[in-house]
């Protein structure tokens, strides 16, 4: 029996390189949720010029403070009016009315907010004087050129997941496209003679295929391109035909047909091709297979997950998602009620995080309880060696509600 960590390492060694993918350039508008393929540096300083952080008056702090050595007050003549978008012009002395984002005139070194002079929005006209009531520190309310990022600095490093702030930072640097990792293509093959496509009539003894949709969605959510096909049969010949018809992909994931029963189609078909099957000390998700098979003329890694829907999804979370998207957000929370767990297995239970920051289990440990999984927002880990967790004891929790 293999440990979870050993199988995770084996899957990583098998599939990581294939899943990493080449880089492709995409427009920023299409890059949400993609993973940066290379470090990105900014060609410009951010901000690109010294500018005002407030609507106010640009002044030379030293000049102004000299006028009123006692309390830092005194009249200053208004010498200009600078709006956002105006070109950079030299400072004419005194005080220049300046708006938020407008370039600070070279020679001025501080901004006095208009609120410190008169009512908000009431600006003195050029030629009038303003009276200030507090000393001004050099640099006050000035957003210095390069204070967010200097030209040549790394904006984001390779491997970063691109969300709104990351895309905004790339746009602020003037970029229109970005090199991201190609989405890995993952072929999902659900197998089993009892399976029926949703929408078809359900014969006695048949069940609907949940895994094709669930695993494809999991792959898509983790940034891959999912291609799903159902082989609703336990005949090795039918699975072979489906795999022979598949186009090139970076990874194949099968569900079902890997345990110790009499009609284990995946094991019977892929075992002779060199795919290894064994037991991982995991519940649910014990029976697992992995290897390399020929797809469309290319050696392609294959992962074989058990067919129970909860087992298939837990297998995805533990073995495949980390390679596609990295770790789930992990916390430790007190368990709401005590629980028993098989000591020789790493058990993964489904749970819900409560408003008082504990985690309560949803449904039992059985791997057919997919509707209970669907009401959960967390996976709860009860590692190998743990037989009992008392109420209130902390457990490792993965948040799965992205």
Backbone angles phi, psi at 231, to 5 degrees: -105, 95
Q: Which partner in ligand AMP, Mg ion, none is near 286 (CB below 5 to 8 A by kind)?
A: none
Stretch that binds Mg ion, among 1-9, 158-166, 256-264, 377-385 (CB under 5 A): 256-264
Position 192 contacts Mg ion (CB under 5 A):
yes
| Residue whose CB is less far from ligand AMP, 31 or 210 | 210
Q: Which partner in ligand AMP, Mg ion, none is near 173 (CB below 5 to 8 A by kind)?
A: none
Backbone angles phi, psi at 360, to 5 degrees: -110, 145
State in angstroms the smallest separation of the CB of 279 from ligand AMP: 13
**236, 335 contact by CB (below 8 A):** no
Q: Helix, strand, or coil here: 162?
A: coil
Residues lying near ligand AMP in the complex (CB under 6 A)? 190, 192, 194-195, 207, 209-211, 255-259, 261, 306-309
Q: Helix, strand, or coil here: 151?
A: coil
Position 256 contacts Mg ion (CB under 5 A):
yes
Q: Which partner in Mg ion, ligand AMP, none is near 259 (CB below 5 to 8 A by kind)?
A: ligand AMP
State in angstroms the smallest separation of the CB of 257 from Mg ion: 5
Stretch that binds Mg ion, among 173-181, 210-218, 257-265, 391-399 (CB under 5 A): 257-265
x-or-dash string of contact with Mg ion, 211-250, rule CB under 5 A: ----------------------------------------
State in angstroms the smallest separation of the CB of 23 from Mg ion: 39
185-191 vs 225-231, strand pairing mode? parallel
Position 289 contacts Mg ion (CB under 5 A):
no
Q: Helix, strand, or coil here: 216?
A: helix
State in angstroms the smallest separation of the CB of 395 from ligand AMP: 27
| Residue whose CB is less far from Mg ion, 94 or 306 | 306
State in angstroms the smallest separation of the CB of 230 from ligand AMP: 7
List Cα–Cα distances, 217 to 51, 84, 277, 348, in angstroms: 47, 46, 25, 20
| Residue whose CB is less far from ligand AMP, 180 or 258 | 258
330-334 vs 95-98, strand pairing mode? unpaired
| Residue whose CB is less far from ligand AMP, 42 or 288 | 288
Q: CA-to-CA distance for 87 and 70, rounded, in angstroms?
A: 36
State in angstroms the smallest separation of the CB of 342 from Mg ion: 23
| Residue whose CB is less far from Mg ion, 184 or 257 | 257
Through-space distance between the first and last CA atoms of the chain, rounded to whole angstroms: 33
Q: Which of 105, 223, 257, 286 binds Mg ion (CB under 5 A)?
A: 257
List Cα–Cα distances, 17 to 200, 250, 266, 301, in angstroms: 39, 9, 24, 10
**395, 360 contact by CB (below 8 A):** no
**53, 100 contact by CB (below 8 A):** yes
Please give the sequence-ordered ranges of beta strands (E in DSSP) within 163-266, or none if there are none. Answer: 177-181, 185-191, 195-196, 207-208, 225-231, 251-255
Closest residue by Cα to residue 289 from 309, 311, 310: 311
Backbone angles phi, psi at 194, to 5 degrees: -85, -5
State in angstroms the smallest separation of the CB of 194 from Mg ion: 7
Binding site for Mg ion (CB under 5 A): 192, 256-257, 307
């Amino acid at each position: 029996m293999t440990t979870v960590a050993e199988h995770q390492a084996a899957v990583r060694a098998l599939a990581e390189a294939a899943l990493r993918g080449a880089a492709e350039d995409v427009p920023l508008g299409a890059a949400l949720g993609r993973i940066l393929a290379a470090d990105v540096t900014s060609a410009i300083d951010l901000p690109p010029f010294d500018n005002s952080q407030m609507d106010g008056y640009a002044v030379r702090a030293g000049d102004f403070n000299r006028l009123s050595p006692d309390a830092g007050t005194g009249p200053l003549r208004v010498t200009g009016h600078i709006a956002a978008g105006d070109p950079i012009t030299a400072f004419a002395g005194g005080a220049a009315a300046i708006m938020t984002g407008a370039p600070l005139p070279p020679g001025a070194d501080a901004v006095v907010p208009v609120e410190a002079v008169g009512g908000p929005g009431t600006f003195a006209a050029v030629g009038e004087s303003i009276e200030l009531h507090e000393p001004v520190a050099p640099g006050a309310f000035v957003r210095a050129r390069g204070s967010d990022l200097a030209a040549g600095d790394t904006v984001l490093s390779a491997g970063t997941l691109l969300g709104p702030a990351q895309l905004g930072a790339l746009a602020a640097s003037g970029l229109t496209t970005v090199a991201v990792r190609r989405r890995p293509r993952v072929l999902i093959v659900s197998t089993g003679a009892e399976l029926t496509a949703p929408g078809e009539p359900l014969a006695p003894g048949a069940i609907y295929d949940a895994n094709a949709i669930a695993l494809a969605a999991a792959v898509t959510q983790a940034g891959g391109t999912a291609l799903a096909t159902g082989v609703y049969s336990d005949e090795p010949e039918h699975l072979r035909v489906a795999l022979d018809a598949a186009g090139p992909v970076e990874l194949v994931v099968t569900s079902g047909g890997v345990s110790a029963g009499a009609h284990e189609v995946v094991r019977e078909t892929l075992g002779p091709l060199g795919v290894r099957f064994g037991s991982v000390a995991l519940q649910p998700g014990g029976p697992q297979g992995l290897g390399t098979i020929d797809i469309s003329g290319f050696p392609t890694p294959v992962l074989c997950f058990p067919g129970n829907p909860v087992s298939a999804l837990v297998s995805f979370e533990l073995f495949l998602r980390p390679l596609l998207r990295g770790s789930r957000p992990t916390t430790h929370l007190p368990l709401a009620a005590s629980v028993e767990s098989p000591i020789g297995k790493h058990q993964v239970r489904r749970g819900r995080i409560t408003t008082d920051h504990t985690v309560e289990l949803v449904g039992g440990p059985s791997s057919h309880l997919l509707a209970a999984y669907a009401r959960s927002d967390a996976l709860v880990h009860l590692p190998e060696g743990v037989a009992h967790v008392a109420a209130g004891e902390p457990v490792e929790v993965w948040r799965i509600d992205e």
